[in-house]
A and B are shown apart, each in its own frame.
Chain A
Amino acid sequence: MSLLYLPNVDPIPLPAPVWLFKVLHIATLMLHFVAVQLILGGLTLATVWNLFGKSGSPMAGASDSVVKKLPTVMTYVINFGVPPLLFSQVLYGQTLYTSSVVIGFYWILVIFLLIAGYYLLYRAGDRADAGRSWWWMGLVSLVLLAYVARIYATNMTLMLHPERWLALYVESGGFGGVMPKVDPTTLPRFLFMTVGALGFGGIAAALLGQYFTHTDDVKRFLTRTGSLLGAVFLAVQMLCGYWVYAAQPAVVKEGFWNSPIGYYGAILWAVFSVAALASIAAGGLIKGSLSRLLVSVAGLAAVLMTAGAVLARDAIRDLSLLAVGFDVWNRTVVANWSVVGIFLVLFVAALVLIAVLLVAVNRSMKEVKNQNA
């Protein structure tokens, strides 16, 4: 197909090789997706438990325990969302800017939904601290955040379809207030994330039960119920994963298995999905220290599973764009390694600093606790 569909590429060359941007994009997107699934899944489970749990019950205790962690998780949803957005603008700016303008009203709406949803998480946490019911706040926040996910799924799909832009742009009068008609891939990718989020939420609840201080019955509830829900929704997510693949156009499906990123990504995702499912199911059934080990393994496997899904997603995006004449690898590069080097050194230093800080804080907390005891 003709490149007439696409805006012209920016004349300034890329300041680093495409592969480096790809690595950075994929690594940070994986972290973002983990955080996204934790917030959506954690909030759903906590809201339902708060709604149905009677005051003083393990269910209510578990819901309060989860919701108090969610503002911090949300901080990292946003923080980890920044670099993938940055790197995708470098690599896919021509398509991403255009599709964003075409649904401009909805795209900017994301911000206001996010602010409201995030703020409600703090308020819900405050109410939980005060021993008051908060499920309705959680529900509103969940609806807002889920709609953000819906807009994202729509835009990330629309950016792959330049042939749809003009008609939508004209129909909305340039304001971007018209959503595209449902694409066969949008619903499965939305469900893949949201169902996966429930699986993640289950695993996270089980981890919370294992690693944080709770009464015995709350700990048991978090581990058992979290494990059960984690296993069930991970299984459903695997079906959604196949649906995402099956819904792709023939040209993408044909190229997918020949793409190393797609091939290894899909295998990574499938293997670690099974590993996560098996270990969380076993972790919920077994008691004692082995349960803690299995739940931890499930958490790690879920992260690696997400890494596989992100790789497969990347291959699908590149193949879809290649079909309309956009080759992300075909870019002029004039690198400035001094700036890249400074970034990488600072990035590693920041991670080390945070790790040192967390260790120091943890140690100090124990000391203060002992002093007070």
Chain B
Amino acid sequence: MNYPFWDVPIIGSGWVLGGIAIFHVMVSHFAVGGGLYLPLAERKARLEGRDDWLEVLKKHSKFFLVLTGVFGAVTGVAIWFSIGLANPEATSTLIHNFVFGWAIEYVFFLVELTTAAIYYYTWDKISPGLHLKIGYLYAATSWLTLVIINGILTFMLTPGATWLGVAGSGSEASVFWYAFFNPTYFPSLILRTLVAVSLAAVWALVTTSRIDGFTQGKLKTSIVRWSVKWLIPSFLLMPVAFAWYLYMVPESGRQLMNLGISTIGAGTFTHVTRAILVSVMASATIAALAYFVAYRNPRTFKTGWALSVLFLAFAATAATEQAREMLRKPFVIGQFMYSNGIRKSEVEKFNREGYLTHTMWLSPETPDSPYRKVGGLPEADRTLLKGELMFRGQCASCHTRDGYRALGSLLRDRDEKSIRNIVQTLHEYKEDSPYRAFMPPLVGKEDEIEALVQYLRTLNAAPPKPEAPATQTARVDR
């Protein structure tokens, strides 16, 4: 527990990050796909002399600018804020590896935002040819931001043997490009590009659904049908790209998915399988709605339908992103750092020397603070305090006390002996342990492990629940 843990009640810090990330993916991929949709639609409109299309596109570009500029750009920054809060150790590793990758992405982002603003504000004010060129430039730089960030995202799942070979040696920078173009880089880039193109259609349907189908029937028919066609590449190529992606995913991740599929009959899906199923079903429903409702009956395609498609796209995106996260378990950076920020290489050291002895948050030398008074507390309170820090440091990245993946519920009806058994299993982390597929090892000396057991007991105890030890301690000190 090098850094303090951001302890968000009920949803956990992971879902603050998750919620922001899912929303950002929806908007940022639209920024990429929609960035191509606009100039191509404008080109078609100008070639065919469709002034009515141009009027729709002007409105769509305003919607595009506000959505991607306000909500897309700010939620992009929000991801930085939230990863820094939820897992500062992993964020630091990524930043130290990829700071210039991010800097390059920033350069494209700078051109992207500038061209987006110019594109919107110069409708009818500059020559059509230049306006189109600006649109294409926007599309190119927007896609290039994806090209860069994709390297960093896929690195987290598959850092690659070359980077892992030098990790911890201080020579990580020398293999930057190996880490960047890692095993899942290209399939993921294709997948994300396809998602971006399909989201261009989904968001365009929202705008075009607002056209009055009775007074502007021809316009609505042509533009809705043209927008629906943007879904075709995704539905044709996505299965191939997805299969390639899965082929490149580490064996442990595939096993987790296979386990879920093979146990469907018994009703015991793994989390990752459930997420993939939601994604597939939502995508299939989008295809059905797009064809039967939008394409075949464009004049009566109302905003409610368009929002339904948007909601399904949101569900598919959320499920896919969660599946990607789950495939990475128990790591946050594959084979290097566990999801709780402990490096794989540190496990032995923490078991030998203790986990909490390496944190300034409970060191005997810790400067004046309530935690320092731990020595003056009764033995039981001292143990609970240590147990709470063990919980925060090693469990709370994925579990809350009584909300999302609540340990209070997961351990309900278990007595002390049973809890100790689970904790010991995680601590020993044997090769055949079933938990190895998705949970990190529990590290620390025996007294720390026991402190965690005692703390976990307070979580599943019948009400009234005892107050959190840290709060008690703070009150003692004031």
Interface residues of A (CB under 8 A from B): 2, 4-8, 10-16, 24, 71-72, 75-76, 78-79, 81-83, 85-87, 89-90, 93, 96-98, 100-102, 104, 107-108, 110-111, 114-115, 118-119, 122, 163, 165-167, 169-171, 173-176, 332, 334-336, 338-340, 342-343, 346-347, 350, 353-354, 357, 360-361, 364-365, 367-369
Contact = CB atoms under 8 A, between A and B. Distances in A.
A4 B360 contact: yes
Given A11-B170, A89-B91, A339-B173, 4 more contacts: A170-B474, A334-B172, A343-B103, A361-B126
B473 interface: yes
A345 to B, nearest CB: 10
A93 B88 CA distance: 8
Nearest to B175: A336
B92 A78 contact: no
A10 B333 CA distance: 15
B118 A75 contact: no
B406 to A, nearest CB: 16
Nearest to A362: B126
Contacts of A118: 69-70, 74
A75 B72 CA distance: 11
Interface string B352-385: 0000000011010111111100000000000000
Nearest to B88: A97
Contacts of A72: 117, 121
A10 B360 contact: no
A317 B84 CA distance: 20
Nearest to A112: B78
24 contacts: A2-B365, A11-B168, A12-B96, A83-B103, A83-B106, A86-B99, A90-B95, A93-B91, A107-B85, A111-B77, A166-B367, A173-B7, A174-B470, A176-B6, A334-B173, A339-B176, A342-B104, A343-B103, A347-B103, A354-B110, A357-B118, A357-B134, A364-B127, A368-B124
Nearest to A89: B95
Contacts of A354: 110-111, 114
A126 B360 CA distance: 52
B66 interface: yes
B104 A346 contact: yes
A119 B474 CA distance: 40
Given A86-B95, A368-B127, A97 B74 contact: no
B73 A101 contact: no
A343 B6 contact: no
B93 A10 contact: yes
A10 B73 contact: no
B125 to A, nearest CB: 5
Given A114-B74, A166-B370, A361-B122, A174 B171 contact: no
Given A90-B99, A110-B81, A339-B101, A173 B92 contact: no
B5 interface: yes
A86 B130 contact: no
Nearest to B129: A364
Contact of A174 (B4, B365, B368): B4
A129 to B, nearest CB: 11
Interface residues of B, number: 82
A21 B137 CA distance: 29
B107 A347 contact: yes
B99 A87 contact: yes
A332 B117 CA distance: 41
Interface in B102-145: 102-104, 106-111, 113-115, 117-118, 121-122, 124-127, 130, 134, 137
A298 to B, nearest CB: 25
A15 B100 contact: yes
Contacts of B239: none
Contacts, number: 230
A273 B438 CA distance: 59
Contacts of B126: 361, 364-365, 368
A353 B4 contact: no
Contacts of A8: 2
Contacts of B370: 166-167, 170
B6 A75 contact: no
B468 interface: yes
Given A79-B73, A107-B81, A368-B126, A174 B176 contact: no
A101 B85 contact: yes
**Residue of A76, A78, A97, A336 with highest tally of chain B CB at under 10 A:** A97
A8 B77 CA distance: 25
B273 interface: no
A111 B78 contact: yes
B271 to A, nearest CB: 25
Given A4-B365, A101-B5, A86 B103 contact: yes
Interface in B402-439: none
**Residue of B97, B115, B130, B473 with highest tally of chain A CB at under 10 A:** B130
Contacts of B226: none
A358 to B, nearest CB: 8
B3 A101 contact: yes
B6 A175 contact: yes
Given A98-B4, A98-B88, A163-B367, A90 B96 contact: yes
Contacts of B92: 10, 89, 93, 97
**Residue of A14, A90, A166, A332 with highest tally of chain B CB at under 10 A:** A166
B113 A5 contact: no
Contact of B16 (A83, A85, A108, A174): A108
Contacts of A76: 113
Contacts of B174: 334, 336
Interface in B15-40: 16, 20
Given A7-B3, A101-B6, A357 B114 contact: yes
A7 B366 contact: no
Contacts of B367: 2, 4-5, 163, 166
Given A119-B70, A167-B370, A336-B173, A101 B109 contact: no
